[in-house]
């Protein structure tokens, strides 16, 4: 079973406390979602992940997920919204939403970005 951690509020520049986006509630965390997450963390290799996600998702779904992750990475590097939109095809509304989660969400993006940076050093 996945252990959930309690999430505090993010601090904005200047020390103001920011509430996480409204979707941060855990009502989406159904037994089916928990089962899926446990399955994902049980994948043991890139090959297993490729096979599992290809069976689970359509190509457009995979492309959408990959594009969103690319938006996160580009935002973290300070790339402008206009350039991100041009590179990924994401709308500025989508980029804004992703950036809100990156800055004030549950910390999932930040953790993976930090891990990615540690691996590439």
Q: What is the pLDDT of residue 111?
A: 96
- Quote the mean pLDDT of the chain: 86
pTM for the full predicted model: 0.75
CA-wise closest residue to 89 among 68, 72, 114: 68
Select 10-119's CATH number: 1.10.1270.10, 3.20.20.70, 2.60.40.10, 3.40.50.720. 1.10.1270.10
CB 69 within 8 Å of CB 39: no
Residue 55 above 90 pLDDT?
Answer: yes
């Amino acid at each position: 079973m996945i252990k959930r951690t309690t999430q505090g509020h993010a601090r904005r520049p200047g020390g103001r406390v920011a509430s996480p986006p409204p979707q941060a509630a855990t009502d989406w965390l159904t037994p089916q979602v928990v089962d899926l997450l446990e399955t994902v963390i049980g994948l043991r290799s890139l090959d297993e992940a490729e096979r599992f996600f290809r069976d689970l998702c359509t190509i457009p779904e995979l492309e959408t997920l990959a594009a969103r992750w690319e938006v996160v990475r580009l935002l973290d590097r300070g790339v402008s919204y206009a350039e991100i939109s041009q590179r990924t095809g994401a709308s500025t509304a989508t980029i804004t939403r992703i950036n809100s989660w990156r800055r004030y969400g549950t910390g999932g993006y930040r953790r993976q970005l930090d891990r990615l940076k540690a691996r590439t050093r």
